[in-house]
Structure 1
Amino acid sequence: MTSPSPSSSPSCPGSPTSSPGSPTSSPAAYTSADVGWLRRAVELAHDCPPSTTAFSVGAVIVDAEGRELASGHSRELAPDFHAEESALAKLAGTPVPAGATLYSSLEPCSRRASRPTPCSELVIASGIRRVVIAWREPDVFVTNCQGVRLMAESGVDVIEIPELAESARAANAHLRF
């Protein structure tokens, strides 16, 4: 699969920052292909069966050449699976190629009750060194999610494209927050 075509060029207020846990969000930090892939992740979030106890999230893993390696959404493979976990599970036994990027509609979790390993740890362990997100996890199920900080401190470049956050939130309209 080739890169989705974004319907518009990115325009992002804000500037890059170098403090750990603060994602960059400047136009130089991401490309129109990043916006297109993140839109695909947001679309996958809309495919999730709604849950009153979990967010609806979509994730896509893309190689350095812009080819989709795997995708997933919350509750796709099992009722307690998160989107990033589903996408990574589809690559089980296959090393993630250098230069791969994970696109997620929501910040990968740093804590969870339903499974032993949070998604931020799964991403770090996978060897993925670039993550693009649309929306930081709000304090609904976990207070003060630290996924971005944990990944950044482990050498993962985390980029936030906040102009897609509203679409990611729309996939979660069934939740009251």
Structure 2
Amino acid sequence: MDDLGWLALACDLAALCPPSRTAFSVGAVVVGADGREISRGHSRDHDPNDHAEEAALARTDADLTGATVYSSLEPCGRRASRPRPCAELIVASGARRVVFAWREPALFAAGTGAEILAAAGVEVVELPELADRAREPNAHLL
């Protein structure tokens, strides 16, 4: 599967999120350097404070060196509900690439995840052609 296919899957996972008035609905997929899916997650997966990338990373103890994280929304660079934002968790995981569809709107926090990732040497790719699809499960917030 290519980047658009994996990112479309992440957007589909966002639709599984229980709606929230205080958080975005996001889906994430972690794909290994070999092109195989390692794990997936979505916002509020097991806990009301779960972020999609956090949930996907927590589901694996695999070596993520060279992995790609696909997220329907730009990974957060700041959050109030946990000590570390998703961008920092991704950097710490060893993943070297992040592909997302929609830049985080400044509704809850400033979207700085892409900048944090890039500053840490992670390749960041935005595919805005799927942004509308990523926004759909968040229509109640916009």
TM range (shorter): over 0.9
Of 49, 62, 67, 2:36 maps to 67
CA distance in 2, matches of 1:99, 1:121: 16
Instruction: Tell me how many residue pairs correspond in the alignment.
Output: 142
Shift of 1:94: 3.0
1:95 aligns with 2:82: no
1:165 aligns with 2:134: no
SS at match of 1:174: helix
Q: Closer, same or farther in 2 for the Cα pair 1:64/1:94, shift >3 Å?
A: closer
SS at match of 1:42: helix
Shift of 1:99: 2.2
Of 96, 107, 117, 1:151 maps to 117
1:49 aligns with 2:18: yes
Of 127, 130, 135, 2:97 maps to 130
Shift of 1:78: 1.0
RMSD: 0.9
Moved over 3 A (4+): none
SS at match of 1:131: strand
Q: Tell me, which stretches of 5 or more residues in structure 1 are unaligned?
A: 4-32
Of 71, 77, 88, 2:46 maps to 77
Shift of 1:44: 0.2
Higher strand residue share? 2
CA distance in 2, matches of 1:69, 1:174: 31
Deviations for 1:21-43, whole angstroms, at most 9, x for unmatched residues? xxxxxxxxxxxx00000000000
Higher helix residue share? 2
CA distance in 2, matches of 1:58, 1:173: 15
Q: Tell me, which stretches of 5 or more residues in structure 2 are unaligned?
A: none
Which residue identity is paired with 1:153? Answer: A
Shift of 1:145: 1.4
Deviations for 1:119-173, whole angstroms, at most 9, x for unmatched residues? 000001101110000000001001x311000100000000000000000001101
Please identify the structure whose Cα radius of gyration is greater: 1
CA distance in 1, matches of 2:92, 2:19: 28
1:117 aligns with 2:87: no
TM-score using structure 1 length: 0.78
CA distance in 1, matches of 2:7, 2:140: 21
CA distance in 1, matches of 2:111, 2:67: 24
